[in-house]
């Protein structure tokens, strides 16, 4: 009675709180269960199904860690007040209409500033946790991850490609015409808008997902800044009313992937800058529970990433053979030039803001602690209300272990 009565009280309070406070993500689990359900007749044993799901999710997730996109978003009001005057052209090629001159607010200098702070690890986020070090004869790969208080897991990686240039790698990741030759998950790619002055592009992708989920579509803006031979490539999901939202493929709104490409010394030890380093920061919300996606990424990241290097070598051969440059690769060469002093100005702003934040946080009174049983009971009810799958089981089992530990101590 000592344990059961408070728990049921917490459950009842959790139900009331859950119905009174219903955030936007409350229906995600239900939609995902409908979208990603597999018929009982075609479903193997639970252990086999779970293993297959993790492997497939890891493949689709980790392939995008060497692909483009960014975190800062443009509001719907900004999109409506600054529309494009040319209707989009949707096809599988890189043919596109032009963004009117000055209409480049999809990806701005604020996005660049945020990315520079990520590169310098001055964005104010939690520390990165090391995941792996892997290599092939022509590629070296490192990966880190971190969990925020709210939102999907963020990933950071460092890849060094031997015997290539930053310009070649930049064009390789930007070239949507060549991408299907090494990225078999890309169903279609279309350039919706572009700016011939800054190189800003709005791109629509449809990506193939595992059999138990519908395909996902992405609408993102992308742009490149050049400082010497270092290229700051920013890609982020953007609101775009000309592409109507559908049930299938499912829209991925939260999509962020930005990378810095620069020449570095080769691992051969000859002192020559004949290698290329790619620092990538990536996260996205695909409508799959974040914990499950995190497990899949860890299991399949390296197996997928190591397939990128053969694609880059094939691209090098095609370019050196004298083939015509694709339109997307041509757009990758239209960059916004910036100086090293301009980049350092971002760092100084970051230092000033961090000092102000520290000062303000020291003056804030500490809040009252919420009873643990209330939090645990509410978490159980909320978890059961929006997801009846693996995530719910993980939450319940975790709570059970916590109560078991309390019982042992008593």
pLDDT at 196 over 90: yes
Tally the residues of the chain: 410
> Is the residue at 322 inside a domain?
yes
In the prediction, which pLDDT does 308 show? 93
- Taking all residues of the chain, what is their mean pLDDT, rounded to a whole number? 74
> Is the residue at 401 inside a domain?
no
The domain total for the chain is 1
pLDDT category of residue 388 using cuts at 50, 70 and 90: very low
pLDDT category of residue 211 using cuts at 50, 70 and 90: low
Structure tokens at 300: 């399949």
Tell me how far CA of residue 297 lies from CA of 99, 158, 209, 304, 316, in angstroms.
36, 16, 14, 10, 28
pLDDT at 197 over 70: yes
Q: List, for residues 25-75, the tens digit of each pLDDT value.
A: 455 444 444 444 434 444 444 444 444 444 444 444 443 444 433 333 333
- List the beta bridge partners of residue 237: 220
Q: List, for residues 237-283, the tens digit of each pLDDT value.
A: 999 988 989 888 999 999 999 999 999 999 888 888 999 999 999 99
Q: Are 395 and 379 in contact (CB under 8 A)?
A: yes
Domain with residue 128: its CATH number is 3.30.530.20
In the prediction, which pLDDT does 352 show? 57
The stretch 166-189 carries a mean pLDDT of 93
pLDDT at 334 over 90: yes
In the prediction, which pLDDT does 206 show? 94
The stretch 205-209 carries a mean pLDDT of 89
> Is the residue at 264 inside a domain?
yes
> Is the residue at 404 inside a domain?
no
Range of the domain at 107: 54-358
> Is the residue at 211 inside a domain?
yes
> Is the residue at 395 inside a domain?
no
> Is the residue at 12 inside a domain?
no
Would you give the DSSP letter of residue 260? E
Query: What is the rounded (10 degree) CA torsion for 402, 404, 409, 410?
Result: 120
More confident residue, 395 or 176: 176
Cα gap 172→276, rounded to integer Å: 13
What's phi and psi for 234, nearest 5 deg?
Answer: -115, 130
Return the number of other C-beta atoms located less than 10 Å from residue 151's C-beta: 13
> Is the residue at 17 inside a domain?
no
């Amino acid at each position: 009675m000592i344990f059961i009565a408070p728990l049921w009280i917490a459950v009842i309070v959790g139900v009331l709180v859950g119905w009174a406070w219903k955030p936007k993500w409350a229906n995600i689990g239900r939609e995902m269960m409908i979208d990603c359900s597999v018929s009982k007749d075609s479903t193997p044993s639970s252990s086999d199904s779970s293993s297959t799901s993790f492997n497939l999710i890891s493949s689709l997730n980790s392939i995008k860690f060497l692909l483009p996109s960014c975190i800062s978003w443009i509001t719907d009001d900004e999109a409506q007040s600054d529309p494009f005057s040319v209707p989009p052209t949707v096809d599988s090629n890189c043919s596109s209409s032009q963004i009117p001159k000055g209409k480049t607010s999809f990806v701005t200098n604020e996005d660049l500033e945020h990315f520079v702070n990520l590169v310098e690890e001055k964005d104010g986020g939690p520390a990165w946790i090391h995941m792996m070090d892997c290599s092939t004869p022509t590629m070296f790969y490192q990966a880190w991850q971190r969990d925020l208080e709210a939102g999907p897991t963020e990933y950071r990686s460092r890849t060094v490609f031997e015997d290539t240039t930053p310009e070649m790698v930049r064009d390789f990741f930007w070239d949507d015409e060549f991408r299907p030759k090494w990225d078999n998950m890309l169903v279609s790619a279309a350039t919706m808008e572009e700016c011939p002055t800054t190189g800003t592009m709005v791109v629509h992708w449809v990506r193939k997902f595992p059999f138990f989920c519908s395909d996902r579509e992405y609408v993102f803006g992308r742009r490149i800044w050049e400082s010497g031979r270092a290229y700051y490539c920013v890609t982020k999901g953007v609101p775009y009313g000309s592409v109507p939202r559908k049930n299938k493929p499912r829209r991925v709104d939260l999509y962020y992937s930005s990378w810095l490409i620069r020449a570095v010394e080769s691992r051969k030890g000859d002192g020559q800058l004949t290698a290329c380093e790619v620092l990538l920061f990536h996260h996205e919300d695909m409508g799959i529970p974040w914990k499950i996606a995190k497990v899949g990424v860890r299991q399949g990241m390296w197996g997928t990433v190591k397939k990128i290097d053969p694609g880059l070598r094939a691209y090098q051969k095609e370019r050196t053979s004298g083939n015509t440059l694709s339109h997307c690769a041509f757009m990758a060469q239209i960059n916004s030039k910036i100086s090293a002093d301009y980049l350092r100005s971002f760092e100084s702003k970051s230092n000033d803001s961090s000092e102000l934040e520290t000062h303000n946080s020291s003056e804030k009174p500490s809040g009252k602690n919420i009873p643990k049983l209330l939090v645990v009971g509410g978490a159980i009810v909320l978890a059961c209300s929006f997801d009846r799958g693996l995530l719910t089981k993980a939450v319940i089992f975790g709570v059970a272990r916590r109560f078991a530990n309390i019982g042992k101590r008593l």
